[in-house]
Amino acid sequence: MNFPLNISISKLAHKVCVMGLGYIGLPTAAVLATNGFQVIGVDVNSSIIDTLNNGDIHIKEPGLRTMVQGAYKLGNLVAQSDPEQADIFFICVPTPITSAKKADLGYVIAAAEAIVPFLRPNNLVVLESTVPPGTTTNVVVPVLRRSGLTVSNGAGPTDLFVAYCPERVLPGNIIKEIIANNRIIGGVTPEAAEQAKAIYKRFVEGDLYLTDATTAELVKLSENTFRDVNIALANELADICEELGVDVWEVIQLANRHPRVNLHSPGPGVGGHCISVDPWFLIEAASEIARLIKLSREINDERPLVVVDKIKEMTKIIPDPKVVILGVAYKGNVDDVRESPAIHVIRALEKAGYRLGIVDPHVRSFPWELSGVEEAFSGADLVVLLTDHEKFRDLLPEKLGCLMRKRQLLDTRHFLDHKSWRESGFLVVQLGSGRE
Ligand code: SAJ
């Protein structure tokens, strides 16, 4: 299909191929489908395709099931293993990190290669995956050029538009944020940015800011690095406060009364597939310069071991100790365990010979066996809260304490109601508080 130059792609484009149906691709596909686009969702995992085509979803995310089912009902969404010709292609695949802390672009390259046979003049290709700076222009565009199309300014008869538009949604609030958040759109050419803007305008209520592709890649990495560095600062302050016998949580709360201060929260470490990974892409791009970023990563990566040391201290005189782990998801109210600090805590405790009772009401699949609450608390000597799931607020310390051998709580997130746990006979220790 060749569009006359003066007609925007957005006015004609209806058919979209979304490559990757994970945490970003599936919600994006569903939002597009409920906003008038005909969407082909593509994933290499055939069990995901089967699940979706059977009317179910493979991810737990508020509002997602209703939206996907609505899209299916409209007849605007199908899931399949291979792409096909479309007006627009979104690439929403993971970018894992290798053991050498380098970006693994295998999925991005494979997705770009998969669409090459289906590309036609005036198509728009948008990469949403988080990638090292320069990836769209230097890695993706050369693959797309294998189609024989040119990536240029829209004046030629064989032009392809390519843009980078990072996803910025918060797991747990994805659907709302896909629609509400401001977006940064980086075009490989200014024309590509304009074309992408016209498409995002059809389903995004936030503001759309245009720039070039490499700047947009750096914007995304800077956002998550900002958070990682600030969490590292909070974690360092927690250790300092503990050393000085001060409660870091009170310090943070009071410091944040300053109009220009926003200290983040310390905790058991930084998990998830974003903040614990993305800063490495900046370090990879400029390893000599990115000193603060690297140190912050190291500080946050060491947090699970700080938790383990605390656990050892609290159980050192107990024979054959049993520990209850409350929460294995990387943060509250999600089912995602990728890069979760809990994995490192559990691995170290297991190695040290601890008996464990692991509880997580949100997580369905985890490398270690999960127990029911009462089974986990039975005969235990210490409860360690790792994840701030709202459901944990409903635990009854008085009742659960009766099941335990010793009543101790280590709250790594300043989350539970310590007064009621203390009143039920628990010794309560908080990470980052030099006081009991
Ligand atoms: N954490 C702390 N202290 C804090 C905040 C978070 O220890 O003060 C921990 C959390 O417990 C969790 C990790 O950090 O283990 C990351 O959680 P998060 O809620 O900060 O972020 P993510 O990874 O769920 O989502 C982030 C978001 N980025 C920013 O807020 C800048 C989201 O908007 C991005 O779309 C997402 O990364 C992504 O996909 O890149």
Q: Single out the catalytic residue among 17, 92, 241, 274.
A: 274
- Write out the two tokens for 315: 């159980």
Mean pLDDT of 273-295: 97
Given a contact cutoff of 8 angstroms between Cβ atoms, the answer to whether 362 and 389 are in contact is yes
> What ligand 1 atom has the least distance to the C-alpha of 224?
31
Ligand 1 center to 44 CA (angstroms): 27
Ligand 1 center to 169 CA (angstroms): 10
- Percent of residues, the chain, with pLDDT higher than 90: 91
Does residue 207 carry a pLDDT above 80?
Answer: yes
Does residue 193 carry a pLDDT above 80?
Answer: yes
Ligand 1 center to 296 CA (angstroms): 14
> Tell me, what's the pLDDT at 128?
98
Ligand 1 center to 319 CA (angstroms): 38
Which residue's alpha carbon is nearest to atom 38 within ligand 1? 274
Kind plus residue range of the DSSP H or E element containing 294: helix 291-314
> Tell me, what's the pLDDT at 60?
86
Which residue's alpha carbon is nearest to atom 34 within ligand 1? 168
**pTM exceeds cut of 0.85:** yes
> What is the distance of C-alpha 326 from the center of its chain?
20
- Write out the two tokens for 371: 């127990």
pLDDT digits (tens, 9 = 90+) for 107-150: 999 999 999 999 999 999 999 999 999 999 999 999 999 999 99
> What ligand 1 atom has the least distance to the C-alpha of 226?
31
pLDDT band at 55 (very low <50, low <70, confident <90, very high): confident
Mean pLDDT of the chain: 95
Q: What whole-number distance in Å separates Cα of residue 201 and Cα of residue 203?
A: 6
> What ligand 1 atom has the least distance to the C-alpha of 275?
23
> Tell me, what's the pLDDT at 246?
96
Given a contact cutoff of 8 angstroms between Cβ atoms, the answer to whether 307 and 235 are in contact is no
